[in-house]
Amino acid sequence: MRHLGRFGIVLLVLFSAALARPEDSSLPLVIANNNRTPAGQFKNGVLELQLDLRRGRWYPEDEGGGYRDVYAFAEVGHAPQSSGPLIRVPQGTEIHATVHNTLSRMTQIYGLHRHPGDAKDALRLAPGETRELQFLAGEPGTYFYWATTSNKTLELREDAETMLSGAFVVDTPGTKPDDFIFVLGLWTKDPAAGLQGTIASINGKSWPYTEQLTYKIGEATHWHVINPTESDHAMHLHGFYFTVDGEGDGEHYESYSQEQRRRAVTQHIDPGHVFEMTWTPERAGNWLFHCHMLVHMSPAEALAPREGQPAAYPPAPLHDHRMGMGGMVIGITVLPGPTATPSPAAATTTRKLQLVISDNPGKIPLYKLELNDPMRPVPSDKKESPSLLGPPIVLTRGEATEIEVKNQSSNPTAIHWHGIEVESYYDGVPGWTGSGQQTTPPVAPGTSFVAHMTPPRAGTFIYHTHWHDSAQLLNGLYGPLIVLEPIQKYDPEHDRTFVFSGGAYAPFGYLLLVNGHPQPEPVELHTLTRYRLRLINITDNGADLRVRLMNKGVPVQWKVIAKDGADLPPAQLRSSTADMGITVGETYDVEYQADTPGISDLEIRQPSFPTPVTLPLKFVETK
Ligand SMILES: [Cu+2]
Write the single-letter amino acid at 443.
Answer: V
Please give the Cα distance from 216 to 196 (Å, whole number): 37
- To 10 degrees, the CA torsion angle through 451, 455, 459, 464? -10
Question: How long is the chain?
Answer: 623
The percent helix, strand, coil of the chain (3-state, each to 5) is 5, 45, 50
Distance between Cα 531 and ligand 1 center (Å): 33
Please give the Cα distance from 476 to 493 (Å, whole number): 26
- What is the DSSP pairing of strand 29-32 with strand 80-82? parallel
What is the tens place of the pLDDT at every residue in 221-274?
Answer: 999 999 999 999 999 999 999 999 999 999 999 999 999 999 999 999 999 999
Distance between Cα 307 and ligand 1 center (Å): 27
Please give the Cα distance from 357 to 596 (Å, whole number): 42
- What is the DSSP pairing of strand 107-110 with strand 141-148? antiparallel
Distance between Cα 60 and ligand 1 center (Å): 16
Distance between Cα 598 and ligand 1 center (Å): 39
Distance between Cα 185 and ligand 1 center (Å): 9
Q: Show Cβ contacts of residue 19 under 8 Å, excluding neighbours closer than 6 positions.
A: none
* 8 Å CB contact between 101 and 129: yes
What is the tens place of the pLDDT at every residue in 520-536?
Answer: 999 999 999 999 999 99
Among left, alpha and beta (phi > 0; psi -120 to 50; other), residue 160 is alpha
| 3-class DSSP state of 294 | helix
- What is the DSSP pairing of strand 165-171 with strand 84-90? parallel
Distance between Cα 582 and ligand 1 center (Å): 14
pLDDT for residue 312: 38
Tally of CA atoms within 13 A in the half-sphere of 172 that contains its CB:
4
pLDDT for residue 348: 66
Distance between Cα 23 and ligand 1 center (Å): 31
- To 10 degrees, the CA torsion angle through 354, 359, 364, 369? 0
How far apart, in Å, do the first and last CA atoms of the chain sit? 46
| 3-class DSSP state of 218 | coil
Distance between Cα 312 and ligand 1 center (Å): 18
Distance between Cα 296 and ligand 1 center (Å): 5
Helix (H) or strand (E) holding 471: helix 470-473
Distance between Cα 593 and ligand 1 center (Å): 35
pLDDT for residue 362: 78
| 3-class DSSP state of 589 | strand
Distance between Cα 202 and ligand 1 center (Å): 10
pLDDT for residue 14: 38
pLDDT for residue 386: 67
DSSP annotation string for 251-301? S-EEEPPGGGPEEESEEEE-TTEEEEEEE---S-EEEEEEE--GGGSS--T
pLDDT for residue 304: 54
pLDDT for residue 305: 55
pLDDT for residue 197: 81
Query: What is the side-by-side strand order in the sheet with 122-125?
Result: 84-90, 165-171, 141-148, 107-110, 122-125
pLDDT for residue 378: 66
Distance between Cα 412 and ligand 1 center (Å): 25
Distance between Cα 260 and ligand 1 center (Å): 25
- What is the DSSP pairing of strand 579-581 with strand 509-514? unpaired
* 8 Å CB contact between 232 and 154: no
Give strand pairing partners of 579.
Answer: 548
Helix (H) or strand (E) holding 9: helix 6-18
Distance between Cα 291 and ligand 1 center (Å): 5
* 8 Å CB contact between 252 and 202: no
pLDDT for residue 15: 40
Distance between Cα 273 and ligand 1 center (Å): 13
Distance between Cα 574 and ligand 1 center (Å): 30
Q: What are phi and psi of 470, to 5 degrees?
A: -60, -20
Distance between Cα 328 and ligand 1 center (Å): 7
Among left, alpha and beta (phi > 0; psi -120 to 50; other), residue 380 is alpha
pLDDT for residue 385: 61
Please give the Cα distance from 447 to 438 (Å, whole number): 18
Other Cβ atoms within 10 Å of 297 Cβ, number: 22
Q: Show Cβ contacts of residue 160 under 8 Å, excluding neighbours closer than 6 positions.
A: 55, 68, 69, 70, 71, 149
Distance between Cα 584 and ligand 1 center (Å): 9
Using 70 as the pLDDT threshold, list the residues of the chain that sit under it: 1-25, 304-323, 338-348, 377-386
| 3-class DSSP state of 160 | helix
Distance between Cα 164 and ligand 1 center (Å): 18
What is the tens place of the pLDDT at every residue in 192-204?
Answer: 777 778 999 999 9
Among left, alpha and beta (phi > 0; psi -120 to 50; other), residue 451 is beta
Other Cβ atoms within 10 Å of 2 Cβ, number: 12
* 8 Å CB contact between 27 and 76: no
Please give the Cα distance from 52 to 261 (Å, whole number): 38
| 3-class DSSP state of 67 | coil
Q: What residues are neighbours of ligand 1 (ion), with CB under 5 Å? A: 233, 291, 293, 296
Q: Tell me, what DSSP letter sits at residue 304?
A: P
Sign, CA torsion 297/309/80/188: negative
Q: Show Cβ contacts of residue 193 under 8 Å, excluding neighbours closer than 6 positions.
A: 2, 4
Could you tell me how far CA 428 lies from the centroid of its own chain?
17
User: In angstroms, what CA-CA distances link 467 with 261, 322, 346, 369, 514?
Assistant: 32, 11, 32, 15, 22
Q: Show Cβ contacts of residue 105 under 8 Å, excluding neighbours closer than 6 positions.
A: 127, 149, 150
pTM: 0.92
* 8 Å CB contact between 82 and 58: yes
